[in-house]
Amino acid sequence: MSALFTPENFFTLLMLVALQAVLGFDNLLYISIESKRVEKSRQAFVRHAGIGIAIFFRIALLFVVLHAVSAFSAPVFTVGFNGVFTGTFNVHSLITLIGGGFIIYTATKEISHLLSVENLEGEHKPGGSVTKALFWIVTMNLVFSFDSILSAMALSDVFAIMATAIVISGLLMIWLSDYVASFLEKNRMYEVMGLFILFLVGILLVTEGGHLAHIKLFGFAVEAMSKTTFYFVLAVIVITDVIQSRYQKKHK
């Protein structure tokens, strides 16, 4: 037990918490959007409970991945259509593809909704099922956490250290979730930016899943978007949105 409390493990824990925090930002955006579907008085509960439940499942997923990582990479089925579409899918690629596709669908639906509505102040009609919102928050939290768990395994092989990092980062997410939701509520012009960031995250996951499945479309392999490209595009989106909003205020 004393071997756990070493300077090396403490430094690793800090690195893992920082990694979870960086990778969890887009998750907070999704949680904020999903929580708006329920009554306003229940939104904070949905955010906190969803993240709390997800912490438990993240630790369970970490345990499963540590002990059965080969099962996630083993081929499940292969698809081939005469050079038009080919791919060999495993559990990891399927989770990433389905999760990324759902995020793209959610972001596109919300953006379309914002464009079609006439009264932005009254476009949200909360009253959705709390159970449904919790289900999607926990499910997407697991999708977001899959890659962070694999990244964590590259930094440490000590279950206690990784589980502690998940708990700490989860508590930070619970604390930050209200601030993110409040910021988006008070600064509606940044809501579209958040949706496009989610859309970008969906593309990142789909390309990564396609790469893991060795998908080829018309003979061209699907390449995973690099994290460097992702953060560069993310920075461009944020800077553009900030400059555009300031320009609009000056123009008015």
pLDDT digits (tens, 9 = 90+) for 2-33: 455 667 767 777 777 776 776 667 777 788 88
Q: What single DSSP character describes residue 3?
A: G
How high is the pLDDT of residue 121? Answer: 52
Do the beta carbons of residue 126 and residue 238 sit within 8 Å? no
CB contact set of 38 (below 8 Å; sequence gap of 6+): 46, 126, 127, 128, 129, 130, 133
Residue 101, pLDDT above cutoff 80 = yes
How high is the pLDDT of residue 2? Answer: 45
Q: Average pLDDT in the 159-172 region?
A: 84
Q: For 187-193, which contacts have Cβ atoms below 8 Å and span 24 or more sequence positions?
A: 188/120, 189/241, 189/245, 189/248, 190/241, 190/245, 191/114, 192/111, 192/114, 192/241, 193/237, 193/238, 193/241
119/57 Cα distance (integer angstroms): 39
Q: Average pLDDT in the 65-77 region?
A: 75
Q: Which two tokens stand for residue 33?
A: 């959007």
Token look-up 């690793």 returns 12
Residue 231, pLDDT above cutoff 70 = yes
Token look-up 């919300």 returns 110
The mean pLDDT value of the chain amounts to 79
Q: Who wins on pLDDT, 87 or 6?
A: 87
How high is the pLDDT of residue 1? Answer: 45
CB atoms within 10 A of CB 103: 25
How high is the pLDDT of residue 118? Answer: 58
What's the gap between Cα 136 and its chain centre? 12
- Residue-range domain boundaries for the chain: 7-70+88-251
Residue 152, pLDDT above cutoff 80 = no
pLDDT digits (tens, 9 = 90+) for 179-222: 888 877 777 667 777 788 888 888 888 888 888 888 888 888 88
- pLDDT category of residue 55 using cuts at 50, 70 and 90: confident
Instruction: Give, for 78, the enclosing helix (H) or strand (E).
Output: strand 75-80
Residue 172, pLDDT above cutoff 80 = yes
What are the backbone dihedrals phi and psi of residue 144, each rounded to the nearest 5 degrees, phi first? -65, -35
The pTM (predicted TM-score) of the whole model is: 0.71
Q: Which two tokens stand for residue 221?
A: 């392999």
How high is the pLDDT of residue 3? Answer: 53
